[in-house]
Structure 1
């Protein structure tokens, strides 16, 4: 089995069942503020047990190809990542296979595209590609355990 995973452009269809794409493509659902603003309404469903908050994640850029050594999941809540800068970032997702990640799938998200990773969905770490990244993250914020990690015996390599 090849340990190389190609990263495809992200789309809602491609990540269905694992995450939700949060973007402002197409026509706005509603025009507000006297015609100056388009509202793209209710683009993701938060699924969080406990306190919800907004945090900021600041990350160094990662090179491609990316070596995926570990995936994590959060059994008590979804995580929405909303980029606060232009540029691309890597999203790696996997279904569950008896308590460990299934074969990972890689996606390239671009400027103006956020992603809401579902509760208990395996995912890679935050990986800005175009330069350092700043992301608003909406997720569970209390101190009780909500993180599971899986380290691969042999890493995957995510390529464009």
Structure 2
């Protein structure tokens, strides 16, 4: 921390590093996969745990994110307490993922920032704190799977200090 700003290093996105926050969605050899459609298609199966509470349903949307410039300062996080939220990039561009563990309070030292490759998606577990979409390198579309249902499902929290992200 210097000059009232907390700095966080960016780390590569891996399934093991991201496990406390949810799932990494990728067609890797670590995923269960098998041939279908007469051998013309490889299915990478059951890559994320989609969560929705009672009375809700999963939906699919496309989010179009404007590119963020680095260095980037974060001042808030959000969470969805009643369902998971998955993002899969559609243009193959890298993006940033800023997360913190579920809970009522977040310490700045608990925030982690990952650089996701353009072929990796993420699925935030219900209640996981995260920053809204952080597209890089151009306007980027993401396929999003999340919850539709009654009542609010987005809590926001201001961070006690700005968080600076540089690559």
Aligning the two structures, in what range does the TM-score lie when normalised by the shorter sequence?
over 0.9
Matches within 5 A, 1:143-154: 143-154=150-161
Aligned residue number for residue 135 of structure 2? 128
Aligned residue number for residue 85 of structure 1? 91
Residue of 57, 74, 95 corresponding to 1:51: 57
Aligned residue number for residue 13 of structure 2? 10
The 1-side partners of 2:102 and 2:57 are apart by 25
* 2:30 equivalent to 1:21: no
* 2:141 equivalent to 1:137: no
Structure 2 unmatched runs, 5+: none
Secondary structure of the 1:100 match is coil
Equivalent residues, number: 159
- Following TM superposition, where does structure 1 have runs of at least 4 consecutive aligned residues deviating by more than 3 angstroms? none
Secondary structure of the 1:44 match is coil
The 1-side partners of 2:35 and 2:124 are apart by 28
Which whole-Å deviations, capped at 9, do the CAs of 1:86-137 have from their partners, x for residues lacking one? 110000010145x122331000001211100010000011011121110111
**TM-score (ref. length: structure 1):** 0.93
Preserved CA contact (<8 Å) 1:84 1:135: yes
**TM-score (ref. length: structure 2):** 0.89
The 2-side partners of 1:20 and 1:149 are apart by 22
Secondary structure of the 2:38 match is coil
Structure 1 unmatched runs, 5+: none
| Offset, 1:143 | 4.6
